[in-house]
Amino acid sequence: DAKTTQPPSMDCAEGRAANLPCNHSTISGNEYVYWYRQIHSQGPQYIIHGLKNNETNEMASLIITEDRKSSTLILPHATLRDTAVYYCIVRINAGGTSYGKLTFGQGTILTVHP
Amino acid sequence: NAGVTQTPKFRVLKTGQSMTLLCAQDMNHEYMYWYRQDPGMGLRLIHYSVGEGTTAKGEVPDGYNVSRLKKQNFLLGLESAAPSQTSVYFCASSYQQGQPGLSYNEQFFGPGTRLTVL
């Protein structure tokens, strides 16, 4: 699986957009980019994933560069409850005996302040 | 749906004791996983299962055993607990989605079990 690089921490004001970057320069063509977050003491929570195109759901938007070597997770209107560790993960396909391994790095600690 | 549940939520063991952590999911997922998370670190995969009756080793399997006798349950056993196994243990489940060759899976996590080994 491709390795990812994220800043260790970021701050964001409540109500503003939080833009979390991730570098994955060794990503291959069939690898997805996943984002999970972990709020203190809880299990990780899936946010969004993408392959090539930009994606949006009710939680966030994912912008993937054209060369796929980096991506940005956007929380459009951050709230205090968005304070968490955000993990960017790149992984190979799942299927059959391939279990869809997720390799969690250190992630980015996002602190949303009033 | 309860999603993924874990039993117990907390446990304190003495060195050398044994115990079993239970993970249950009601989403009919094929894949199940056990992770551990040490303070200030990301999750590390211990064991996983791609279906009922099958298990395989992850990144850090030593000192643990697992069983998946029923599709909805995934058990993690510690035969002789050591202080190095003090950690928070998370179970997850998933199913394969998407078209062949470009499939993906979203993992659903349980609330975790905090284990302390003295």
With 0-12 CB in 10 A as exposed, 13-18 as middle and 19+ as buried, what is A74? Answer: middle
Task: Measure CA B93 to chain center.
Answer: 9
CA–CA distance, A36 with B40 (Å, rounded to integer): 16
Arithmetic mean of pLDDT, B14-39: 95
CA–CA distance, B6 with B110 (Å, rounded to integer): 6
Chain A nearest C-alpha distance from B12 (Å): 17
Residue A78, both tokens: 């951050």
- CA distances (Å), A46 to each of A88, A103, B18, B54, in order? 11, 14, 32, 25
Arithmetic mean of pLDDT, A73-97: 85
Q: Which amino acid, one-letter code, is at A60?
A: A
Q: Which residue of B has its CA nearest to A96?
A: B50
Q: Which residue of B has its CA nearest to A86?
A: B42
User: How many CA atoms, within 13 angstroms, populate the side-chain half-sphere of residue B113?
Assistant: 29
Contact call for residues B23 and B33 (beta carbons, < 8 A):
no
- What pLDDT is stored for residue B111 in this prediction? 95
Interface test with B, best of A33, A39, A99, A108 (most B CBs within 10 A): A99
Local confidence band at A30 (pLDDT 50, 70, 90 cut-offs) = confident
- CA distances (Å), B22 to each of A71, A74, A107, B97, B111, in order? 36, 36, 28, 26, 12
For the stretch A52-72, pLDDT in tens is 889 999 999 999 999 999 999
Residues of A with CB under 8 A from a CB of B: 30, 32, 34, 36, 41-46, 49, 51, 87, 93-107
Cis-peptide, bond into residue A76, ω within 30° of zero: no
For the stretch A89-109, pLDDT in tens is 988 655 554 566 778 888 999
Least confident of B3-7, B10-14, B54-58, B98-102: B98-102
Residue A20, both tokens: 């979390």
Are residues B42 and A107, on separate chains, in Cβ contact within 8 Å?
yes
pLDDT of A38 above 90: yes
